[in-house]
Structure 1
Amino acid sequence: MTKAQPLAMNYDPRQLSDEELVQRAHTELFHITRAYEELMRRYQRTLFNVCARYLGNDRDADDVCQEVMLKVLYGLKNFEGKSKFKTWLYSITYNECITQYRKERRKRRLLDALSLDPLEEASEEKAPVINDKGGLDRWLVHVNQIDREILVLRFVAELEFQEIADIMHMGLSATKMRYKRALDKLREKFSGIAET
């Protein structure tokens, strides 16, 4: 094993790959945050879109994005690079979205239990409604939570099936099967709309 060369302190983070930025973050954090900031800049828009589509609203998506960025900041020094940075980032994002979704569901159940209006209580038990902005958002409300997560990771985060399987702790074939079934269900529901 060769000894790692010392990293030059004068560099343009935009010119480096994710792996090079991770390596720099290992040596720089917490005193210098240039590499970390570039990594977050690269993924912040997609990160927000993933969260917004999981959770159905921008407020919760903002909160989760902030939490993810903090976890990345504090976890980056320990990131071993066994997977791509992108996969690790979306794994954290997925877990934070699930935590937020469960928290909101518990809150909604409490409000339902306190509600005096039985009709309102019954309507609140439905899955969270994603604002109909067209495109993928319109489709996602018609699949269950796990299939929604697979579709978001595939179409929004643009991850490979193996990466999705790793993040969701599922087998590769199970992930592909759920993805195919979800698309089949959507094709059936929206017959006449071509898959993009």
Structure 2
Amino acid sequence: MTSHSVPRTRYTPADLSDEELATRAAGELFHTTVAYEELMRRYQRTLFNVCARYLGNERDADDVCQEVMLKVLHGLKQFEGKAKFKTWLYSITYNECITQYRKEKRKKRLFDALSLESQEEAQEPEEPLTSRGGLDRWLVHVNPVDREILVLRFVAELEFQEIADIMRMGLSATKMRYKRALEKLRKHIDAPL
């Protein structure tokens, strides 16, 4: 019996912890997706919010969320439970957001270099995320790494150690960047309009 083998008994997915569901999903996939679907249901909204705040638009966030869900689906058999499922999930999310951010940055540099405007941008101007509330309009004032720390802390509600693990930074460096990012945000918030 492998570590991912689970008894074929009936269970109520909502009653299981994330880690129990991850173990179940790894043993069930691809015959059934009940445990996997429950995991994704639990995190879908927060996952989308993390991506949207990090990337700055909902279209890219939706694409990244789909990619994350596929990576989780195919990666569950390798999930060993050394970290919490939530930490593993946000680590994948963080890496996918970084990849998407870099793609968009390269695309923007290309358009700038060619003095062209993206057709998408010309047809559909990006709406600021201020409509979703407080944090969004201030996140533009911090660099991408600090933005991700703030998003993981406030939106995903992760502990500093989990954030440090996801971002592959030391705990003290993570706390220091968090503190500096908050100070920078306070200056922008307190600045007269």
Return the offset for 1:191. Answer: 2.3
d(CA) in 1 for partners of 2:175 and 2:22? 30
* Pairing of 1:22-33 with structure 2 (within 5 A): 22-33=22-33
d(CA) in 1 for partners of 2:74 and 2:64? 15
Indicate yes or no: 2:45 matched with 1:61.
no
Q: Is the 8 A contact 2:6 2:23 kept in 1?
A: no
d(CA) in 1 for partners of 2:70 and 2:84? 19
Indicate yes or no: 2:47 matched with 1:47.
yes
Return the offset for 1:169. Answer: 0.7
Partner amino acid for 2:134?
G
Instruction: Give 3-state SS (helix, strand or coil) of 2:130's partner.
Output: coil
Return the offset for 1:130. Answer: 4.6
Identity %: 78
Query: Post-superposition, which runs of at least 4 consecutive aligned residues in structure 1 deviate over 3 A?
Result: 3-6
* Pairing of 1:138-157 with structure 2 (within 5 A): 138-157=137-156
The more displaced of 23-32 and 58-67 is 23-32
What TM-score does the superposition give when structure 2 sets the normalisation length?
0.88
Let me know the Cα RMSD of the aligned residues.
2.2
Question: C-alpha offsets along residues 120-150 of structure 1, whole Å, 9 cap, x if unaligned?
Answer: xxxxxxxx99532231101101111111010
Residues 104 and 4 of structure 1: is their aligned pair in 2 closer, same or farther, counting only changes over 3 Å? closer
Question: C-alpha offsets along residues 127-180 of structure 1, whole Å, 9 cap, x if unaligned?
Answer: x99532231101101111111010000000100000000110100000000000
Q: Is the 8 A contact 2:6 2:27 kept in 1?
A: no
Residue 122 (structure 2) aligns with: none
Residues 167 and 173 of structure 1: is their aligned pair in 2 closer, same or farther, counting only changes over 3 Å? same
Residues 61 and 141 of structure 1: is their aligned pair in 2 closer, same or farther, counting only changes over 3 Å? same
Residues 5 and 164 of structure 1: is their aligned pair in 2 closer, same or farther, counting only changes over 3 Å? closer
Structure 1: gaps (5+ residues): 118-127
Indicate yes or no: 2:167 matched with 1:168.
yes
d(CA) in 1 for partners of 2:6 and 2:55? 43
Residues 136 and 6 of structure 1: is their aligned pair in 2 closer, same or farther, counting only changes over 3 Å? closer
* Pairing of 1:26-175 with structure 2 (within 5 A): 26-115=26-115, 130-133=128-131, 134-175=133-174
Residue 125 (structure 1) aligns with: none
Return the offset for 1:6. Answer: 5.0
Q: Is the 8 A contact 1:130 1:141 kept in 2?
A: no
Q: Is the 8 A contact 2:5 2:27 kept in 1?
A: no
Instruction: Give 3-state SS (helix, strand or coil) of 1:190's partner.
Output: helix
